[in-house]
Amino acid sequence: MHIFSYATEDTTLYEASESMNTGLDEILEVVKKVDDAGVNVNVSRVLVNFDLTHISQSVNRANASASAKYYLNLYDAGSIGLTTSQSLYAYPVSASWLMGRGKYLSSPNVTDGASWAYKDNDTEKTFWVGSTKDTGGSWKEQYRASQSFIHTDTELDMRMDVTNIVNRWFEGTIPNYGFMVKRSGSIGNDDVDLDEGTTDRLGTFKFFSRDTHTIYSPRLEAVWDSSAWSTGSLGNLDAREIEDLQIYSPNLKSKYSTQFDGKLRIVGRPTYPVLTNSPTASAYSIVKYLPSGSLFSIEDNYTEDVIVPFGSGSKISCDSRGNYIDLNTIGLQSQREYKLKIKVVSGSFSGSADTDSEVIDNNLTFKIR
């Protein structure tokens, strides 16, 4: 199962403009700039928060709290000047903050909202830490997630495993004030041995914010194995049938609401089934089960972006009626069309190590209204 929640708040904190708020900007930036003399360093850090209500309810309802994994997804908006492979880190923010209404380099600067110096605005002037404004936010150092990036990659999307942080929120160990995303560095950026504080020119990561006019808003993703497997009296598809397999879904609808949560039946049969002598059943109506290692994925049918990848959270299930997947549309974006693809793992009947897989695309599409 994959469940999604989209960002409710985000902003970027810029060291170079200590009271500037960018809560309504379309871009989030993790900046590292060094002046021409190689002396003065300026960085930025990203704040992003999510409503965890739906994810928490879904995980608890499935009794999946012990197995669920959580991923922070930020989507590349044209990162520039990355000179070397490097890492970004996510920490739980340790204080509440105000998203604000500003944009980057608005004229005049908007100071109503979180900034490098203040967690609220330039009127209340509530410092992040203690009595100094040169801190750039505050975070829990002991709970950390990270992801490495290869600077030569053409796509620099983030999918960071933040399970350790989200579990602390759900346990009540720490309050949820969202994530701080940054390079390695210290409060106030005064540690010259860490990436933020060195004079190395590292470039700028750019990600789409919640105010983007694209489909790439930040999202938090929960993943767990919701599959179940009981074949009852069904027969299995044999090797010959799998080689010439067609996939269809007898209960797939053309449109779903954003609140659908149910079983979607998946049936595999050869293109030309062997005719039977049965007086009661057509060869085309006989249901057999797919190999037990089979998976599904969900793609955006226009952009071909993978929303639900093949993996542990997209295993196909089986009961006495046949195969099915658990389809939950909460978190899929409205007015988008999606496509289901099926990966059949043909060696999983026997448990053979020499398993073969084939991705089948029979144009199983649906829209979210």
Q: Can you tell me whether residue 73 is helix, strand or coil?
A: strand
Burial (Cβ within 10 Å: 0-12, 13-18, ≥19) of residue 89: buried
Whether residues 216 and 247 fall in one domain: no
Q: How many CB atoms lie within 10 A of CB 48?
A: 26
Whether residues 244 and 218 fall in one domain: no
Whether residues 212 and 289 fall in one domain: no
The string of pLDDT tens digits covering residues 291-341 is: 999 999 999 999 999 999 999 999 999 999 999 999 999 889 999 999 999
Residue ending a domain, among 181, 203, 223, is 223
In a domain, 230, yes or no: no
Residue ending a domain, among 223, 257, 291, is 223
Whether residues 27 and 159 fall in one domain: yes
The string of pLDDT tens digits covering residues 87-118 is: 999 999 999 999 999 999 888 989 999 999 99
Whether residues 185 and 265 fall in one domain: no
The pLDDT, as a whole number, for residue 132 is: 78
Whether 281 shows a pLDDT value over 60: the answer reads no
Q: Can you tell me whether residue 239 is helix, strand or coil?
A: helix
DSSP string spanning 84-153? S-EEEEEEEBSS-----S--TT-SSPP-BS--SSBSSBTTT--BSBTTBSTT---B-TTS-EEEEE-TT-
Whether residues 132 and 175 fall in one domain: yes
Whether residues 102 and 191 fall in one domain: yes
Residue ending a domain, among 201, 223, 245, is 223
Domain count, the chain: 2
Q: How far is the CA of 110 from the CAs of 8, 19, 97, 121, 123, in angstroms?
A: 20, 8, 16, 9, 11
Q: Which domain holds residue 71?
A: 2-223
Give the pLDDT band of residue 282 (cuts 50, 70, 90): low
Residue 101's φ and ψ, nearest 5 degrees, are -125, 15
